[in-house]
Amino acid sequence: MRKLVVADSVHTAGGIAGNAVLIEKGAVLAVGSHNELGAGSLHEERYPGATIVAGLRDAHIHPVSYAALLAGTQLMDASDLHEVKARLRVAADASPGPVIAMRLDDESLAEGRLPTRRDLDAAVADRPVLVHRYCGHVAIGNSAALALAGVDAGTCDPAGGTIDRDPDGVPNGVLRETAIELVSTKLKGAAAVSGDDLLAALRGLAGLGITSIGAMLGLGDGPWASLGDEVSLFAEISRALPIRVHAFVITADPVELDDAAGRLDGAVGRRLRWAGVKRFADGSLGGHTAAMYESFADRPDTGTMRLTDADRAVARHAIAAGGIAAIHAIGDRAASSVLDLFEEMVLEGADPRRMRLEHASVLTRDDIARIGRLGIVVCVQPAFLGSEWQWLEKRVGRSRLATTYPFAALEETGAILAGGSDCPVESPDPLSGIALARDRAGIVPAESLSAERALEMFTTGGAAALGELVPWSPGSAADLAVLDVNPVLATPDEVRAATVIDTYVDGEPVDVDRSLSTWPE
């Protein structure tokens, strides 16, 4: 059956293209004026005063971690270590198992530092505690957690990670990058969420206008081992998915990747598919683990390079299997290493549109130009600017600030820019991301994007990063968002405050969960 969705305007990548979308069997037939498309006895859905845009895409999100955050203990707004300890005690009183907490921000604590195992012991000493910094690249374990993992003065730093230590060499509880796994893998499944919790979180994303996500999924190992096998969880709920899920599997093992791809593509339903592999070249700016050419401005350290031969091999394997290789790179040295790999693969004949540079936070001028020449996809997170603006220059220094989150410079090269949130690192709200791509929280305004390009990052660019058809093209999925403002004509603050009236996937309104369409701060 054909139907028409009508508003005051429909905004496409080319501008306002009318005020109606003609839909048949879940696909877009045409976009134009109601007068042209509305002949006959079509069923109509009307939204007076509203604007229709293509469904918003979050090309990089950790949905299971997000669901765990909504149901668990978060520390982002804790004012000091006293409050951190109080929240951990509440969590311990509520459940007899290990305590897992998320989104600690040491930059906002009154003490201005990460807690140590002794701080956590003062809160909970009778069971393991693991507190994740909000970037996800640093965690702190209490003494019980370190003992469970056998981490002591004789434990060596693992490849790609470091254990912070007291002056006497005893671990102080702070674990960076792969060192987190020493503890997290001993807590496998301790913070697993239910299928119902995950579906509720996805309906919350739909309430934000999101119709497709690039879901970074673990296999029960890594820093988020406590969440269990995320691939299996998605396969179990695949029939009920309210939005499209393009799964990027976090593994360096080609056999594991093939197995996960088979489980994802073999799941029931049409909204779950294997998209590719996710790897890490470094860590985060906030955790001082991004791999930099020169030391951080506030610490004599150049970060942690994590890219290995195994990562390079699995990236090639994913592309050969028809998938995408998405590699995390925050620092300029990490980005250069990933681009070296991508350049090699392009010369070998691989399609550059199947290569994604994730985050690309700090780049060199030469690498910005190289990205344009290669034709790869760059998945960026404008939301990072919203949480880093107070300390970003302190971390990278004035000279590197000019090429940190260089959205406009990348756009000028012709690079394909896709928007993501990296949630639960940041809020999953794409409207906030669109606004930050425009005003950048005041950081290097010259790198701001126009309103049109900011919207395209989360629509057309996101679709390209996920392997979807160009939004609004004939035969493309009728995935759209109905907003109470035109996000191109509105100011950034008006976009932030906008309301998503309805979200359509396959031409039908999604039953959203408005209670979860907010961000726990």
Please name the amino acid found at residue 177. E
Stretch 350-354: mean pLDDT: 98
Stretch 346-375: mean pLDDT: 98
* pLDDT, position 519: 66
Q: Name the band, by pLDDT with cuts 50, 70 and 90, for residue 12.
A: confident
What is the sign of the dihedral through the CA atoms of 448, 451, 452 and 458? positive
Alpha-carbon gap, residue 249 to 231, rounded angstroms: 8
Q: Name the band, by pLDDT with cuts 50, 70 and 90, for residue 41.
A: confident
Q: Name the band, by pLDDT with cuts 50, 70 and 90, for residue 514.
A: confident
What is the pLDDT of the chain when averaged over all its residues? 96
Q: Name the band, by pLDDT with cuts 50, 70 and 90, for residue 513.
A: confident
**Multiple choice CATH, 73-187, 3.40.50.1820, 3.30.300.30, 3.40.50.620, 3.10.310.70:** 3.10.310.70
Stretch 242-246: mean pLDDT: 98
* pLDDT, position 1: 78
**Under CATH, what is the fold of the domain 57-62+191-467+474-514?**
TIM Barrel (3.20.20)
pLDDT at 321 over 90: yes
Stretch 49-62: mean pLDDT: 98
Percent of the chain's residues with pLDDT above 70: 99
Residues 474-501: tens digit of each pLDDT? 899 999 999 999 999 999 999 999 999 9
Alpha-carbon gap, residue 514 to 519, rounded angstroms: 11
| Beta pairing class for 171-177 and 138-141 | antiparallel
Residues 80-124: tens digit of each pLDDT? 999 999 999 999 999 999 999 999 999 999 999 999 999 999 999
The larger pLDDT score, comparing residue 15 to residue 296, is at: 296
* pLDDT, position 52: 98
Q: Name the band, by pLDDT with cuts 50, 70 and 90, for residue 520.
A: low
3-state secondary structure 320-354: HCCCEEEEEECCHHHHHHHHHHHHHHHHCCCCHHH
* pLDDT, position 301: 95
Q: Do the domains at 57-62+191-467+474-514 and 73-187 have one common CATH topology?
A: no
* pLDDT, position 517: 62
Whether cis (ω within 30° of 0) applies to the bond prior to 242 is no
Alpha-carbon gap, residue 459 to 57, rounded angstroms: 6
pLDDT at 54 over 80: yes
Residues 259-304: tens digit of each pLDDT? 999 999 999 999 999 999 999 999 999 999 999 999 999 999 999 9
Judge whether 177 and 306 are in contact, CB under 8 Å. Answer: yes
Tell me the domain boundaries of the chain. 57-62+191-467+474-514, 73-187
The token pair that represents 140 in the structure block: 């702190």
Residues 184-240: tens digit of each pLDDT? 999 999 999 999 999 999 999 999 999 999 999 999 999 999 999 999 999 999 999
* pLDDT, position 521: 59
The token pair that represents 230 in the structure block: 């995320």
What dihedral do alpha carbons 486, 211, 405, 14 form, nearest 10°? -50
Helices (H), 141-300: 143-149, 180-184, 195-206, 230-237, 254-265
| Phi, psi dihedrals of residue 466, rounded to the nearest 5° | -105, 0
